[in-house]
Structure 1
Amino acid sequence: MSPKELKFLLRLRVWLSEIIRPNELQVTLFWAGVIGFAGACASVAFRKLTGLVHYAFTQQYSGLVESFEHLRPLQRLYVPAIGGVLAGLTIFLGVRWGRRRSSTDYMEAIVLGDGIISFRSSIVKSLSAMFSIASGASIGREGPLVQLSSMIASLIGRWRKTPTLQLRLLVACGAAAGIASAYNAPIGGALFVAEIILQSLAMESFGPLVFSSVVSTLTVRQLLGEQPLYEIASVHLGSNWEILPLMLLGLVAGLFAPWFLRLLRASERMFSKLALPTYVRLGLGGLIVGLLAIWQPEVCGNGYSVVNEILHGNLLWQALVFILLFKLIATAATFGSGAVGGVFTPTLFVGACLGDLAVHAAQPLWLGTPLNPQVFVVIGMGAFLAATTHAPIMAIIMLFELTLDYQLILPLMLACVIAHYACLAFEKKSIYAESLKRKGGEIYRKQLAELSVADIMKPNPVNVDEDADFRSIAQKFISHRFRYLYVTSVDGGFRGVIALHDVKSNLTQSELAELVIARDLVQEDFPTIAPDASLVEALERFARHDGERLPVTTGANRKLIGSISKSDLLLALAERTKDPHQTADAPSNGAVAVVEG
């Protein structure tokens, strides 16, 4: 590079820093948007491929329930069983191909791990989920969507050599993008990850989650259209007194939720006791779904089309009782057998059924204006979701996004809170609790509370020798985004920093620039921090410093051993402030309960 080119690039670098001045959080926001776009594209691709596999199974492109209604009884029996066997074989064979030391699912990578998600394991899980979903398993597609988005986020972060805490945040952005792309609910997707996984609404983490969710939602709408997930007409309350039966519905949902959770766990324990290969176990789960589908094809899939039928009042309550019973058994069989997918949408299905049955039970006893069944169905979905996830805020926002009707927000808030506390009185663990407990979540929180600067610092920061010439200094600034360049002595001792703007005057004086060395430009009065300092002490040091990084030094000669960034510190402190007693309630294998095979 010629001297003229070097000076031009350095002038450009100084000019950009004066105009734009992006800090690390702003850069994170940019990459959160990139992850949201990539995650949405992966979501669309997965849906298209699943549709093709579904056609291979049923020779139809319609929805799962509609397809199974057109199949002969024998086909209804063997299609889910074959799909389960293929899903199990994918996991069975993929274990050898995908064996790595990195995390196999995104929840573990965010909550417990280092943010690194195995590409091979993610592909294996997604293919397995594709076979299960396409063949009619009673499970949702949101699980693999979130897994793929999070895997892409992990790959992007690793390509950028992102520090661990920021990498985990990027993976969380991928998870939020996956949820948002599945439900067309950007706020709900961001809140799901913030409330259940990160358990923090600090803007350092929540801002990127929102940005990623919104970009993902806009991308999916552009590629697939803006049609809502559930076709809900404008709904309203006949009178404010209707809040009373809706509050009672919240109580019923909260009391029913513990039994639903215990059913899933009992099924999981029962299947785990069977000494069967993975493909046989998943095939057995599919066979149970197939047997139920002979009489009730509505048990197939995540229940999306049936919920729409309920919202339009097309099902008699007597038929709905049997559909709900069969659906509970089918979901338990699919979940317990170890199928990869999500139980988020089946949870909404159960809540919709409870709401519809509740309005039919309350209508004969109600003396006021006729009750609106759609209101009860929507409130039932939100209340049951709040109870099973132990995340009432997320449930309120997500159901509000599905309806966009402010009339429902007050009864929805009351029902979700009542359902949450009613369930909590009988069941302390959410739908995600057991798997995280097995992976050592409480130990991780204890370790996090004991972190020091040395645990989150980046070693070997960019620096120059105090005798370095102006050309070397310029090349360092051009190659890196930092506003301050560390200067060290021959023995590695920290001497100070060179500010980017301090080199500006030398750009117009070429003769002087050739004589200047780092020692001439150094600012010796620059704050440092010791590696054994606490995170609180580091935060106080940053409060008196406008930079994005602090050098970490040790010993009498202040040897430079690393640097700590403000964004990493804020993320670590946000993690540290979580209630350790809530750890067991956080998910580990999917914000949508991704079940490992």
Structure 2
Amino acid sequence: MKEVVPQIYRRLLRLLRWRLWIIEKLRPSPWQEMLAYAAVAGILGALAALLFRHGVEIIHYVMTGTGSGMVDSFRELEWWQRLAIPAVGGLMAGLVLLFGKRLHRGQSSTDYMEAILIGSGELPVRATLVKSTAAMFSIASGGSIGREGPMVQLAAVAASQFGRWRQLSAPQLRLLVACGAASGIASAYNAPIAGSFFVAEIILGTIAMESLGPLAVAAVAATLTVRTLSDAHTLYTVPAFTLHSLWEIGPFLVLGAMAGVVAPWFLRSLRQAEQLFAATSLPVPLRLALGGLVVGGLAVWVPEVCGNGYSVVLAILNGHLIWQTLVLVLVCKWVATAASFGSGAPGGVFTPTLFMGAAMGYLFGFGVNQVWPQGAADPGAFALVGMGALLAAASHAPVMAIIMLFEMTLSYDIIMPLMVCSVVAYYTARGIENQSLYSEALKKKAAEAPEPVTLPGSVADLTRSPTSSVTLTARFEDIARQFLSSRHESIYVTDAEGKYAGLISLHDIKPHLNDEAVATLVIAEDLRRDDVPSVAPAATLADALRLFAQQAGQTLPVVDPATGRLTGVLVKNDLLLALLEGRGAEKRGATRSPWQGS
């Protein structure tokens, strides 16, 4: 038996030496770990988006008997099929939502924006699957709605589940859900930069590198995954556009102002349609069927209203539609989008907004060309700029809109007028109404919250339970086992009454690892350090940040000053993320961020 004990100690010492070497040479920092998690979230988000896309294609084939694009499919159908299929699809979507409530009874309907801004980062799986299935029927049957909404939600749920499995803190989980949302946008539009800025500018309200870095990694990982597993390509293949004359800048500025005026009215029409459908007091299935019937009635004469408008936008950008037809399509598409959105069809209005901008821009450019050819030599260029301008005005995110239009078209020459037009549109829309495409939904979610949610204001709000602690009399063997079973580089020491007495760093035991006799002689009292500052639970985040600046560690012990007891640990990564969230909330203050409480 005398030889067994030394063998155990030798093994522990050998393992500790390997652990210390890995930490010193290979151990990633918390931010590097977050980047790795973001990459995984991006891959999972892309897979979820691809599954949703294939589900829509299968349902569309079953309902129409063809695998062609949405508009082409409806052109091939009889008039009564054009009328009936959107209504049937709306009815099926409503039935899924109605009976799906039994599946997720007692589970919240939190969406990704709510989880990031006013939630803990946890997203419901069953409720999301039900809503996404309903969205498949709405989109596949020709509803005038985009597929980006469900794709982003599914990607965010995948990221949330992964983060919960990894037991991330609330700030880290919220950031990971944001990474999932970025991967969903990148997967939908093959635009990784725009996907990153969509979340950073619209949801987080900050483009600080601590948040933008993980968002970019997730979006790139998602885009690479989609390109590997599908035939993804530049979304809108358009002819090369050039600025023919400096005189064209004047009409582009006017177009920006027009987009800034049209966007608030477009959003108001969607909200009014929602109120009209709600006033009918119809059950959800019948309400969605009515919305589908409106779309189907318009599709009998104008099949271009079906779907998100992608193929029609391509036709506009390439000059394949005459202006008389485009006027009719624009009016009918506006009504169809309002009907789909107002009836409650699950989906997004991001792509329909691009359609409205392209049609409006082309018509304006064509009109200018007829009166003053030098002012608009190519109406197609005005269509492309109109897409970005209306999106910037509707979303209140001009940087994202500019980047997205560039990524979707890869047309560099259009950047200068696009930038000017989008900025003018944004400020014009803000001057008319301080409501964006997403602010209304966030306000509703904040109002439905059971109690006001506020930002962490003290250390206690971010404190984690201490995962590793030993008493002053703990033997070296016990300390070694704690280090081998913990991910942290420090172990906290308490006395017999549970009062904080210091900590032991993994680097502090390095001198003893080559001396086997230490295992039987040294106790925690001999190794502990009492020069590491502690922080009180009631201390402000600014106070904690100052303490972190005084030492190089990644954690601080949280000690109750009244009792001297160790109550938890504050992780530097959590603190920095919480401070970034606070900065983003301040920037969104003009629209009353849900973080602000009552």
Q: TM-score, normalised to structure 2's length?
A: 0.95
Give the aligned partner of residue 306 of structure 2.
300
Counterparts in 2 of 1:302 and 1:418: CA distance versus 1, 3 Å: same
Is contact 1:463–1:486 with CA below 8 Å preserved after alignment?
yes
Give the aligned partner of residue 147 of structure 1.
153
Give the aligned partner of residue 223 of structure 1.
229
In the TM superposition, what whole-angstrom CA distance separates every residue of 1:121-163 from its partner, at most 9, and x where no partner exists?
Answer: 0100110111111111000110111011100111111111111
Secondary structure of the residue aligned to 2:488 is coil
Give the aligned partner of residue 6 of structure 1.
12
288-297 or 578-587, which deviates more = 578-587
In the TM superposition, what whole-angstrom CA distance separates every residue of 1:384-431 from its partner, at most 9, and x where no partner exists?
Answer: 000001111111111121222332221111100100111112111112
- Partners of 2:12 and 2:443 lie apart in 1 by 55
Do residues 412 (structure 1) and 398 (structure 2) align? no
292-301 or 474-483, which deviates more = 474-483
Is contact 1:433–1:586 with CA below 8 Å preserved after alignment?
no
Give the drift of 1:441.
7.0
Counterparts in 2 of 1:16 and 1:144: CA distance versus 1, 3 Å: same
Give the aligned partner of residue 491 of structure 1.
497
- Partners of 2:593 and 2:357 lie apart in 1 by 20
Do residues 393 (structure 1) and 410 (structure 2) align? no
**Alignment partner for residue 121 of structure 2, among 102, 115, 126?**
115
**Alignment partner for residue 423 of structure 1, among 420, 426, 429?**
429
- Partners of 1:225 and 1:253 lie apart in 2 by 33
Give the drift of 1:48.
1.2
- Partners of 2:326 and 2:130 lie apart in 1 by 36
- Partners of 2:226 and 2:10 lie apart in 1 by 47
Q: Which runs of 5+ in 1 are unaligned?
A: 589-597
Give the aligned partner of residue 439 of structure 2.
433
Give the aligned partner of residue 469 of structure 2.
463
- The code of the aligned residue for 2:510 comes to K
Question: Residues 299-378 of structure 1: matches in 2 within 5 Å?
Answer: 299-368=305-374, 371-378=377-384
139-148 or 404-413, which deviates more = 404-413
Q: Count residues with an aligned counterpart.
A: 588
Counterparts in 2 of 1:4 and 1:400: CA distance versus 1, 3 Å: same
Give the aligned partner of residue 4 of structure 2.
none
Instruction: Report the identity percentage.
Output: 50
- Partners of 2:69 and 2:474 lie apart in 1 by 68
Is contact 1:352–1:381 with CA below 8 Å preserved after alignment?
yes
Q: Which runs of 5+ in 2 are unaligned?
A: 1-6
In the TM superposition, what whole-angstrom CA distance separates every residue of 1:248-275 from its partner, at most 9, and x where no partner exists?
Answer: 1111111111110110000011111121
- The code of the aligned residue for 1:75 comes to Q
- Partners of 2:201 and 2:393 lie apart in 1 by 14
Greater relative contact order, per chain length (Cα 8 Å cut-off, separation 6+): 1
- Partners of 1:584 and 1:439 lie apart in 2 by 18
- The code of the aligned residue for 1:328 comes to W
- The code of the aligned residue for 1:35 comes to A
**Alignment partner for residue 258 of structure 1, among 243, 254, 264?**
264
Counterparts in 2 of 1:587 and 1:341: CA distance versus 1, 3 Å: farther
Give the aligned partner of residue 93 of structure 1.
99
Give the drift of 1:450.
6.5
Give the aligned partner of residue 595 of structure 1.
none
Counterparts in 2 of 1:2 and 1:276: CA distance versus 1, 3 Å: farther
Question: Residues 38-117 of structure 1: matches in 2 within 5 Å?
Answer: 38-117=44-123
Do residues 504 (structure 1) and 524 (structure 2) align? no
In the TM superposition, what whole-angstrom CA distance separates every residue of 1:255-304 from its partner, at most 9, and x where no partner exists?
Answer: 11111011000001111112111111111111111101000110000000
- The code of the aligned residue for 2:559 comes to T
- The code of the aligned residue for 2:402 comes to I
Give the drift of 1:447.
5.5
- Partners of 1:175 and 1:151 lie apart in 2 by 9
- Partners of 2:73 and 2:592 lie apart in 1 by 36
- The code of the aligned residue for 1:252 comes to M
Give the drift of 1:240.
2.5
- Partners of 1:309 and 1:453 lie apart in 2 by 56
Give the drift of 1:460.
3.4
Counterparts in 2 of 1:291 and 1:228: CA distance versus 1, 3 Å: same
Is contact 1:497–1:522 with CA below 8 Å preserved after alignment?
yes
- The code of the aligned residue for 2:326 comes to L
378-387 or 553-562, which deviates more = 553-562
Is contact 1:39–1:152 with CA below 8 Å preserved after alignment?
yes
499-508 or 421-430, which deviates more = 499-508
In the TM superposition, what whole-angstrom CA distance separates every residue of 1:198-245 from its partner, at most 9, and x where no partner exists?
Answer: 111122211111110111011111111341111123221112222211
- The code of the aligned residue for 2:438 comes to Y
Give the aligned partner of residue 529 of structure 1.
535
- Partners of 2:511 and 2:586 lie apart in 1 by 53
Counterparts in 2 of 1:283 and 1:2: CA distance versus 1, 3 Å: farther
Give the drift of 1:469.
1.8
Secondary structure of the residue aligned to 1:235 is coil
